[in-house]
Amino acid sequence: MALSAYVDANYRYIAAYQEVNARIAQRQQALMLYTTLVVSLLAALVALQSAPQSRSLPVEWLSLGFPVASVCLAFLNF
């Protein structure tokens, strides 16, 4: 006796809906990670500007963080 191997349409739509939601959640998490990195870099720049000028400010090192964060976002979206 052969068993029919079909799946009800409701289960297919539920699986597709869950897959779409999982992909959207991953993209939102990647965007939130990028936003957190950029805001923390901006906060560090503001905090270093208000610090006493007795030492040299590592603005050059912090400014390199923005392209690195952008590259990380590009790779996470890829």
What is the per-residue pLDDT across 11-63, written as a single tens digit (0 to 9) for each?
878 888 999 999 999 989 989 988 998 899 888 888 877 666 656 666 777 77
Residue 39 lies in a domain: yes
Residue 67 lies in a domain: yes
C-alpha span between 59 and 27 (Å, rounded): 30
Residue 36 lies in a domain: yes
What's the confidence (pLDDT) of residue 67?
A: 87
Going by C-alpha positions, the residue among 73, 9, 61 that lies closest to residue 37 is 73
Number of domains in the chain: 1
Radius of gyration of the chain from its Cα atoms, rounded to whole angstroms: 23
Which residues form the domain of 55? 26-77
C-alpha span between 57 and 26 (Å, rounded): 36
Residue 56 lies in a domain: yes
What's the confidence (pLDDT) of residue 61?
A: 73
Between 2 and 39, the more confident residue is 39
Going by C-alpha positions, the residue among 38, 40, 31 that lies closest to residue 66 is 38
What's the confidence (pLDDT) of residue 4?
A: 65
Residue 43 lies in a domain: yes
What's the confidence (pLDDT) of residue 28?
A: 92
Residue 68 lies in a domain: yes
